[in-house]
């Protein structure tokens, strides 16, 4: 509603998940977003969001099943139009790419059964049919790989008449693996009965699907077809979800060793492990010295790994990829972390007094890019920092890529004096790269759209992980620092020496993966430095290969 955020939104979000956003009369741009399962591409999904004002409970349902519920208020949109197929206040952004069908809006929070009725039978302006067979379709099967009994709940959505289910048959796909073991008796109005079936895998592995045809006296139709879908996860590799912590090398110690257990959680099939290999920027510091090549059903084995920093120091993070014939997860990742004591954490220092040279002598000198203007010799942030550089018209410095400029744990510090804020993003420093599949890597400081300082990191997955700090002060110096501690997977934005935003939520699988190929840019952003130019002065930029403390 202009100055405040109000109303609900459904998103196919930047990470490919269904997301329920809503405002609660917060400041402009302050939305409460809650994510759920991944979006299925080129397939129909029934999506429902509900809000009960009496209990302030908001829910998200996918294909008739609740996937998210939380007590969290929503304030009403009292000004803007509702938009189908796009977002933003005026409908001019966040466009939906795909098909939509059968959109309904109610002035009450529907129950699960009512949502399932809408999903199964469509939206009806007249009164409910009676009796009315309601059942989730597709119905998800949790399959173990062994013979098992399965109950399927059948609901009567009618209000006055009992529902009688008289037959159930299986057709198509893996129909031969299913059998009926019991029909429910008459189902009272609003009640639930259980259809009992049996499943025998008989050598099946991977995806399982069949059609269940139910015959009843439902007023909607005598025969209803339900899709049964599942996956036999057998063999099934189980590896640690928590990071494998090696600790810190001590004086006189050259290597660290660590072991962990893997398990075949399948019921009938042997697990075959073809390889266990480190990957990522620090992969050379980790070596797998032993692992089981086969595991019988239910068996466990030991994986042994050695950490050798090879005379390097700092934080080391690598992903250990376990490759096997697991039909659902052929590649499972275990994150590893180790530390080697840092003798001198300062990697590079750009005073920006007269040029872009690195004052540490490490050779990480910045060159002025051909486009735009960079003017040295301006008034600095303080007497201790010397002169500063003024950046205008897209002018910036490029520092050639080096893995040393992209450590696993790091701190960046600088002084910034912004000339303006706008709806665009402006970066005083960026070291980032996109992978071939759009994966993000690296770190960024932004004078962000909306006029706040922000710290972004790539996670080796699609989408950026960001934290937002206070408003940008125009025409005045601000000291900025960003830190990332690999040991705790914690990122912090510091403004004038104080922590302005902290994020300790684990990323995918970490909040930060280093830039592995492109130059570092001072005064601009984007992978190649050609975008998100900073307009103002920058002074005394430094990079450290550890997360500095507040002091």
Ramachandran assignment for 297, one of left (phi > 0), alpha (psi -120 to 50 degrees), beta (any other)? beta
Same domain, 526 and 394: yes
For 287, list phi and psi in degrees, rounded to 5. -135, 130
430 three-class SS:
strand
For residue 263, is it within any domain?
A: yes
Q: Does residue 17 carry a pLDDT above 70?
A: yes
Q: Among residues 548, 546, 550, which one has the least CA distance to residue 342?
A: 546
Same domain, 368 and 509: yes
Could you tell me which residue, 375 or 81, shows the higher pLDDT?
375
Q: How confident is the model at residue 309 (pLDDT cuts 50, 70, 90)?
A: very high
Q: The CATH number of the domain where 280 resides is what?
A: 2.60.40.10
| pLDDT digits 0-9 by tens, 401-433 | 999 999 999 999 999 999 999 768 999 999 999
Same domain, 388 and 537: yes
For residue 480, is it within any domain?
A: yes
Q: Among residues 72, 33, 31, which one has the least CA distance to residue 53?
A: 72
pLDDT at residue 91 in the model: 85
Domain boundary at 162, 197, 232, which? Answer: 232
| pLDDT digits 0-9 by tens, 60-113 | 999 999 999 989 889 888 788 899 999 988 888 889 999 999 999 998 899 999
| pLDDT digits 0-9 by tens, 470-481 | 999 999 999 999
Same domain, 360 and 439: yes
Which residue range forms the structural domain that includes residue 138? 133-232
Kindly state the average pLDDT of the residues 371-386. Answer: 93
For residue 452, is it within any domain?
A: yes
The pair of three-digit structure tokens given for residue 342, joined into one six-digit string: 């840092």
User: 397-412 as b/e, with b when 16 or more CB fall inside 10 Å?
Assistant: bbbebeeebbbbbbbb
For residue 121, is it within any domain?
A: no
Same domain, 373 and 503: yes
Domain count, the chain: 4
Same domain, 395 and 470: yes
Same domain, 513 and 392: yes
Same domain, 404 and 449: yes
| pLDDT digits 0-9 by tens, 194-222 | 999 999 998 788 899 999 999 999 988 89
For residue 127, is it within any domain?
A: no
Which secondary structure element, helix H or strand E, spans residue 492, and what is its range? strand 490-495
Same domain, 450 and 383: yes
Same domain, 313 and 371: no
61 three-class SS:
strand
For residue 50, is it within any domain?
A: yes
The pair of three-digit structure tokens given for residue 479, joined into one six-digit string: 């000291």
For residue 124, is it within any domain?
A: no
Same domain, 328 and 358: no
Domain boundary at 197, 232, 267, which? Answer: 232
Q: The CATH number of the domain where 504 resides is what?
A: 2.60.120.200
For residue 117, is it within any domain?
A: no
* pTM reported for the whole predicted model: 0.60
Domain boundary at 309, 340, 371, which? Answer: 340
Q: Are strands 452-458 and 464-471 parallel, antiparallel or unpaired?
A: antiparallel
Same domain, 44 and 152: no
Any residues with CB less than 8 A from the CB of 191 and at least 6 apart, and which? 155, 156
């Amino acid at each position: 509603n202009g100055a405040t955020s109000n109303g609900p939104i459904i998103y196919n979000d930047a990470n490919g998940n269904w997301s329920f956003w809503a405002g609660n009369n917060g400041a402009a741009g302050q939305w409460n977003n809650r994510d759920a399962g991944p979006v299925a591409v080129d397939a129909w999904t029934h999506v429902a969001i509900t809000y009960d004002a009496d209990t302030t409970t908001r829910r998200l349902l996918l294909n008739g099943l609740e996937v998210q519920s939380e007590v969290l208020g929503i304030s009403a949109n009292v000004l803007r139009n509702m938009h189908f197929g796009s977002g933003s206040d005026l409908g001019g952004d966040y466009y939906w790419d795909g098909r939509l069908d059968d959109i309904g809006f109610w002035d009450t929070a529907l129950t699960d059964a009512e949502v399932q009725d809408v999903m199964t039978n469509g939206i009806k302006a007249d009164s409910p049919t009676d009796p009315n067979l309601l059942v989730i379709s597709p119905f998800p099967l949790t399959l173990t790989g062994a013979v098992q009994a399965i109950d399927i709940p059948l609901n009567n959505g009618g209000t006055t008449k009992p529902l009688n289910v008289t037959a159930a048959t299986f057709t198509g796909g893996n129909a031969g693996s299913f059998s009926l073991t019991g029909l429910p008796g008459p189902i009272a109005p609003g009640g639930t009965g259980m259809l009992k079936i049996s499943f025998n895998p008989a050598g099946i592995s991977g995806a399982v699907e069949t059609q269940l045809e139910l015959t009843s006296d439902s007023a909607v139709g005598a025969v209803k077809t339900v899709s049964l879908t599942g996956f036999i996860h057998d063999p099934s590799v189980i590896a640690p979800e928590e990071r494998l912590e090696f600790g810190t090398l001590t004086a006189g110690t050259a290597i660290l060793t660590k072991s962990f257990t893997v398990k075949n959680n399948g019921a009938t099939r042997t697990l075959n492990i073809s390889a266990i290999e480190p990957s990522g920027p620090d992969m050379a510091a980790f070596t797998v010295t032993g692992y089981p090549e086969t595991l019988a059903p239910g068996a466990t084995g030991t994986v042994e790994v050695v950490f050798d920093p090879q005379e390097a120091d700092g934080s080391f993070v690598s992903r250990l990829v376990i490759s096997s014939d697991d039909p659902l997860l052929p590649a499972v990742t275990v994150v590893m972390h180790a530390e080697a004591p840092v003798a001198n954490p300062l990697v590079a220092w750009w005073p920006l007094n007269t040029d872009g040279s690195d004052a540490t002598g490490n050779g990480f000198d910045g060159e002025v890019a051909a486009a735009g203007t960079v003017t040295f010799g301006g008034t600095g942030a303080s007497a201790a920092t010397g002169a500063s550089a003024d950046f205008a018209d897209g002018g910036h410095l490029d520092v050639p890529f080096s893995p040393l400029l992209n450590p696993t744990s790091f701190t960046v510090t600088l002084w910034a004096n912004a000339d303006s804020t706008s709806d665009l993003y402006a970066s005083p420093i960026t070291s980032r790269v996109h992978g071939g599949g759009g994966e993000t890597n690296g770190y960024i400081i932004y004078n962000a759209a909306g006029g706040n300082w922000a710290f972004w990191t790539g996670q080796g997955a699609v989408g950026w992980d960001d934290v937002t700090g206070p408003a940008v002060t125009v025409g005045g110096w601000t000291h900025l620092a960003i830190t990332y501690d690999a040991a705790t997977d914690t990122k912090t934005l510091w403004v004038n020496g104080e922590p302005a935003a902290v994020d300790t939520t684990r990323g995918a699988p970490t909040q930060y993966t280093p830039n592995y190929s492109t130059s570092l840019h001072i005064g601009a952003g984007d992978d190649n430095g050609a975008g998100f130019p900073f307009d103002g002065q920058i002074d005394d930029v430094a990079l450290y290969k550890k997360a500095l403390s507040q002091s």
